[in-house]
Structure formats: structure tokens, C-alpha cells
Amino acid sequence: MSRVVTRFTVTTASDYEHPIADNVLRQDFTAQAPHQRSVGDTTELRIGDQGKTYLAAIVDLFSRFVVGWAISAVNVRHLIINALEMALRRR
């Protein structure tokens, strides 16, 4: 008997009640100097069968280094805020 393997699960809810921010970078991911432009993202990390954790990272587009990060058991707004605060402190 064969089994179908699901490789991707959609986890993004697209029915937002809040306005979506304008795309100010317009796909231009370059910077002329450090600390001019940064991008951030969160990802879910599975830890064996025990559960999962979430990682948020802020990357400086000039150096391409992670300048701020945070890890949490829940994916809430404080996760990315903590990563952003770390990036600002390290600046």
C-alpha cells in the first residue's frame, strides 16, 4: 500500500482584520551602508516529536548578517519585537 507524503503545510492566515503595511523595499534588497535597511522573518522549528519552537531573525541588508534574533515557544508579536530590540541594541 502506498502513502502520500505531505511536504508543505500552509500556516499563513490571509484573512487579516488589520491593514497590511506598504512594501517600502519594492524587492530592492540592497543597501549602501550598514543599518540602512533590514528585513525580518519568523520560522517554525520542529524539535523531534516533542514539539516546536519559533525563531525570528533580523538581517542587515548591507552586511547580510543576522543582527537580531529571538526564540519562543509561541509565535506572537513579542517574538519579532524582541529580535528587533536586539538588533537596535547591537547597533
| Residue ranges per structural domain of the chain | 38-90
Q: Is the pLDDT of residue 75 over 70?
A: yes
- The pLDDT of residue 3 is 75
pLDDT digits (tens, 9 = 90+) for 6-64: 777 776 767 778 888 888 888 899 999 998 999 999 999 998 888 899 999 999 999 99
Per residue, what are the HEC states of the chain? CCCCCCCCCCCCCCCCCCCCCCCCCCCCCCCCCCCCCEEEEEEEEEECCCEEEEEEEEEECCCCCEEEEEEECCCCHHHHHHHHHHHHHHC
Angstrom distance (rounded) from CA 82 to CA 60: 16
